[in-house]
Structure 1
Amino acid sequence: MPSPTTGQTPQHVAFIMDGNGRWARARSLPVLAGHRAGAESVRRCIHAAIEHGVQYLTLYAFSSENWRRTPQEVYDLTTLLRFYLRHRVAELHAQGVRLRMIGDMDRFEPGLREEMTRAEGLTRHNTRLTLVLALSYGGRADIVQAARRMAEAGARGEVDLASADEADLSRYLQTDGMPDPDLVVRTSGECRLSNFLLWQCAYAELAFLDVLWPDFDETHFATLMTDFAGRERRFGGRTG
């Protein structure tokens, strides 16, 4: 287990981007306007992560529960995602950003899945920042599929299930090969994880901001980094 740390830049920061709808309603705008404004906040967040030396940035862009929203909002969200995958990935590539997707991609229509695959392929060798988009993602479902896959591997004799430990299960999560988040941030004043990276967030520092996602900017990011640097991470160890 890692030893207590202070004064460090988080290697992996994860965001629950909340508040697009409330931002739009407060301005008497359609919800789509809030999602578009939120997409611009994503660009600011990526730029700030690069500037601060963060290596992994995970964004909860579309949860498994988001499929329950109105058909129009789901259509708007997926259309916006398609636009940015088609027209903004070149910008990420030029910045040295690697794009990675986690979640149940089979729920998206084939054309959108092709855009995802193309974006991941184009940026696969970039090393400046790994941007992870959690799409149709649920933390509980991730744990279930990992347990199922490990059980199947055990049946093939590839894993000794009798002695399997946490590290073994982690290899079957969709985040395999990535460090767990050091810092998880939720905007909009809500204080819950909403089924996001439940296994991976076991020892993450948490920050809940009373700011709607479309208003999030580089100054907020810098404040988060300063606050994180002042925290002592004990990972369940004793104090004093």
Structure 2
Amino acid sequence: MDHRTVLALYDRDMREGARPDGPGARIERVGAVVRQVADAEGWNGVLWSDLDEATADRAIAEQADFFAAHGREFEWKLYGHDLPSDLGDRLTAAGFTPEPEETLMVGEVARLSLDAGLPDGVRVVPATDRAGVELVVDVHEKAFGTDGSRLRHRLLTGLAEHPDSVVALVALAGDEPVSAARVELVPGARFAGLWGGGTVEGWRGRGVYRALVAHRARIAAAHGCRYLQVDALPTSRPILERLGFHALSTTTPYVSPQ
């Protein structure tokens, strides 16, 4: 994989050329900034910017004022290759709080190792109704220790309004949900996003996460996507590298001042 070329393609298609990630959200291009504006249950934030030392501080202040006027907490999604090189420091100085850094990983579907199987007694089912969504949320809350209210809203709204844009999956051991994940599909896009992959304690290290990556890759391939993108935690990166993903950059959410 030509890392520089693929990263530039990702920036152009999925950041500068972003499309709304859910019902009710909209993409706005304001000067050198691309942002998503959603309701209080959706994701609000800056996806892309083309800034330098002379324009960065003003752009940060303008976005903070805009979202504050709309009563929205938001994220500035900073990538390791964004400019200026001290943009993270400028965000911190403006009162933003950085969350843990993740690795932007991309895999070319045709070159991935997708033969990963599930442990005996485990099966994968799609979440196609409220009951399925509740299983996904249950895994999310247990695996990550965070509230799943926004995820529930996002999945239920997506099922009702755009059922083909997000495919959520849950792995069941008998009737027990042990892992869950989703793949987000944008019509006509070359990239599909893998999100929310988590496994409950006691089932980690048994190949369930790996199998869910492979399962989602096959779904993306069936929809004509060439690449898969993941914001990977340190625990996921080795698994993804073994499957054929490449680390292209880093990404850090900077959360707006309260």
Normalising by structure 2, we get a TM-score of 0.29
Structure with the greater relative contact order (CA < 8 A, sep ≥ 6): 1 or 2?
1
Pick the structure with more strand per residue.
2
Normalising by structure 1, we get a TM-score of 0.30
Pick the structure with more helix per residue.
1
